[in-house]
Structure 1
Amino acid sequence: MTTILDGIEQGRVQTDRLDASVLRRSGEGADADRRPIVLIHGNVSSSLFFQPLMLALPRPTIAIDLRGYGDSETLPVDATRGVRDWADDVAGVLDELGESDVHLLGWSMGGGVVMQLMLDRPDLIRSVTLMAPVPPYGFGTKLDGSPCTPDVAGTGGPGANADFIARLAAGDTSDDEPTSPRSVFRSSYVAPGFSDDYEDLWVESMLSTKTGPDNQPGDGVASESWPGFGPGSRGVLNTMSAAHLDLTGIVDLDKKPAILWVRGAHDAIVGDESFFDFNTLGKHGIVPGWPGEEVAPPQPMLAQTRAVLEQYAANGGSYEEVVFEGAGHSPHLEDPERFRQVLLAHVDAND
């Protein structure tokens, strides 16, 4: 049974693409008729992660479970389309609901989905909030966005920790091992020392992730380049490899909604030397055989995002970068009141 907090309504939206689970909350008072904020979750999560934020916002809110997550239909993910399967799904849900010109927030992988929507369905978007987003060049790239190897070795499905995937599939709620979902939440989703009363809900959300070659983590291929594997064509992790993902076209959009970029200073997942990057693992001796900085430099994810957003602004758009100094990958959980204020200020200014 999915845990739905009081004040949140869960429903289903059938489109020509999928049967989607959607959480909704009506606005309050004068804000009830204002444009909704639409929330798109990241990898190994679901819309459940947004429930306290939804309850704290006076505007109407909509949170959509992506295919293969939460209570939405489990369908294959075609990684050769980058994150377009999810972007098209979200667009279909919003079309079915009759919503357009909304405020979109994307977290982590969901930030990539939102940027894809900027490219494909600008009519849907009033403003954009990117929280700890996937770098717009995709994974496996140097500062300028060029791939470290022609086949983008070190990215894709084989990069997942097999024991973590097995524990997801088994529904493991323990904290006995570093690879359990609960332990990964504590070590990677939030800054050290964080705790709250919702941890069981966050683990429940993580465990809703569907596993397998068509979903999480996806397939892969052998590579002659270190570390010996490259991205495949199916499943989640391959969608974000630079072999399939390039979101930098947002800099040339005719319509450029204002962007709020929110990140935590202690983000263990998206950073300039993230330990979720095989090149970082190699540099620190965790994966042997690293060929060195010239061949396999740790990906400067933040610098890349900043460079693309600077070009976005130079081409007529606007963005603001807000750093939560005490937070990790989940500022909306770790400093919820400040996050609520920053988000509302952004959407109100761009209504």
Structure 2
Amino acid sequence: MTETILPGITAHSVTTPRYTAQVLERPADPATGVAHTVLFVHGNVSSSLFWQPTMLALPADVRALALDLRGFGGSETLPVDATRGLGDFAEDLASVIAGLGLADVHLVGWSMGGGVVLQALIEHEPSVASVTLVNPVSPYGFGATDASGALLTTDAAGSGGGGANPDFVARLQDGDRTADAPASPRSVYLGTYVNPGFTSEHDDRWVESMLTTAIGEGNYPGDSRPSENWPGFAPGDRGVLNTMAPVHFDVSGIVDLPSKPPILWIRGANDVIVSDTSLFDLNQLGALGVIPGWPGAEVAPPQPMIAQTRAVLDRYAERGGRYREAVFEASGHSPLLEEPDRFLAELVGHVTAQGRAAA
């Protein structure tokens, strides 16, 4: 078994009224003290393990923390109520912030974790010094919306738990560590989390991280229900993928936050997961002929995820907030892994620009 925790990182259990969370920590150097505290939030089918190289590379005066959401990593497995959007995860995040007594924390959310961070800001107003979004899910969720974020069908057909590849789900559950099939976790990581051809010394750790995902209708991927609309299913009310279905999830309300932390939006230019032409968007797969019976772009256009995010962040800025977009031309879905030096520089520059934060 691969040793998953890197030297210099420690794992703690943090018990909150919500759940028992595993939190990784790279403490600040006692000689410097804590100038900033950064809390990292992972994405779907992953865990805090992915953040370790970034945590270790941060300046000595930064306290680096990374939590595991419920049903991932070393945290407690509890069911996910998708009717709250990412609300269960957002409340878990807020509970860990409170449990650790953090103030003026810098939040970093990757993919689904970006949506978790934004929903936590809306619903719980934690004390936040800055936000960094890394290839975040669109503010309007994943799939089944037009450019404005409006639903294409009333039931958001084609989004949610029914869109998961059953072979991938089975291989996650079985602990498949091979690259012997296109749907194995390792193959999915190498083909979609990063640009094809990218490898690192930590790939075995990343596969182990993916394999910590709790499987079931209450966790990953979630349930679904039949639909009269193409492609024949609609999101259910339980589990991870349904949390991001647009009937349940919409964090465009960040534009109305009374206190707007500065946002750094980092994205890989070659992302095939969060994209205007996402290979995980069933409407895009229909347009490519991968899924038969696609009713056409007037009925089922691919979701313009990047354009949606930019439009919401533009409104955020118009209403008094600040954001900056940093495009990583050599990266896919994981700039933190694929261009680590630039990622570190962008993150440190953003964090240190906000002044001293409490430990």
Residue 36 of structure 2 aligns to a residue whose secondary structure is coil
**What residue is the counterpart of 2:179 in the other structure?**
175
Asked whether the equivalents of residues 132 and 270 of structure 1 are also in contact (C-alpha less than 8 Å), the reply is yes
In 2, Cα distance between the equivalents of 1:87 and 1:198?
A: 28
Q: Secondary structure at the match of 1:123?
A: coil
Aligned length: 351
- The 1:281–1:71 alpha-carbon spacing in structure 2 relative to 1, beyond 3 Å, is same
1:31: Cα distance to partner?
A: 5.2
Aligned to 2:141: 138
Superposed displacement of residue 30, structure 1 = 6.5
Amino acid at match of 1:329: H
Cα deviation digits, residues 143-182 of structure 1 (max 9, x gap): 0010111100000111000000000000000000000000
Structure 1 residue 93, shift from structure 2 partner: 1.0
The answer to whether the aligner puts 1:89 opposite 2:92 as a matched pair is yes
Query: Shift of the alpha carbon at 1:138?
Result: 1.2
SS in 2 for 1:48: helix
Counterpart of 1:23 in structure 2 is: 24
Determine if contact 1:67/1:86 at 8 Å carries over to the other structure.
yes
What is aligned with 1:51? 52
Q: Distance in 1 between matches of 2:203 and 2:107?
A: 25
Mark the runs of 5 or more structure 2 residues left unpaired by the alignment.
none
1:212 aligns to 2:213 (yes or no):
no
Q: Does 1:154 align with 2:155?
A: no
TM-score, structure 1 normalization: 0.98
341, 346, 349: which one pairs with 1:345? Answer: 349
Any idea what the Cα deviations from partners look like across 1:106-159, whole Å, max 9, x if unmatched? 000000000011112323211000000000011221000101111000001110
- Quick one: which of 51, 63, 75 aligns to 1:72? 75
How far, CA to CA, are the matches of 1:123 and 1:326 in structure 2? 34
Q: In structure 2, what is the equivalent of residue 264 of structure 1?
A: 268
Q: Does 1:63 align with 2:70?
A: no
Distance in structure 2 (CA, Å) of the matches to 1:318 and 1:91: 23
2:192 aligns with one of 188, 191, 196: 188
> What root-mean-square deviation, in Å, do the aligned CA atoms of Structure 1 and Structure 2 show?
1.0
Q: Which amino acid aligns with 2:224?
A: G
Residue 162 of structure 2 aligns with an amino acid whose one-letter code is P
Q: How far has the Cα of 1:350 moved from its partner?
A: 1.3
Match of residue 40 from structure 2: 39
The answer to whether the 8 Å contact 1:269/1:275 transfers is: yes
Alignment-derived partner of residue 243 in structure 2: 239
Distance 1:54 1:32 in 2: 16
Task: Name 2:207's counterpart in structure 1.
Answer: 203
Q: Are the structure 2 counterparts of residues 322 and 29 from structure 1 closer, same or farther at C-alpha, using a change threshold of 3 Å?
A: farther
Deviation track 1:182-221 (CA, whole Å, cap 9, x = no partner) reads 0000000001221110000000000000000000000000
The TM-score normalised by the length of structure 2 is 0.96
Contact 1:12 1:21 (8 Å CA) reproduced? yes
Alpha-carbon distance in structure 2 between the residues aligned to 1:346 and 1:141: 31
In the other structure, the counterpart of 1:126 is: 129
CA positional deviation for 1:86? 0.5
**Structure 1 runs (4+) greater than 3 angstroms displaced:** 28-32
Instruction: Out of 134-143 and 199-208, give the one that drifted further.
Output: 134-143
Match of 2:279 in 1: 275
The 3-state SS of whatever aligns with 1:126 is strand
Residue 230 of structure 1 deviates from its aligned partner by 0.3
1: CA distance, partners of 2:284 / 2:75? 34
Tell me if structure 2 keeps the 8 A contact 1:27–1:57: no
- State the identity %: 58
Aligned with residue 106 of structure 1, among 101, 109, 114: 109
1:318 aligns with 2:315: no
User: For 1:278 and 1:214, how far apart are their aligned partners in 2?
Assistant: 22
Greater relative contact order: 1 or 2 (C-alpha under 8 angstroms, separation 6 or more)?
2
Corresponding residue number in structure 2 for 1:8 = 9
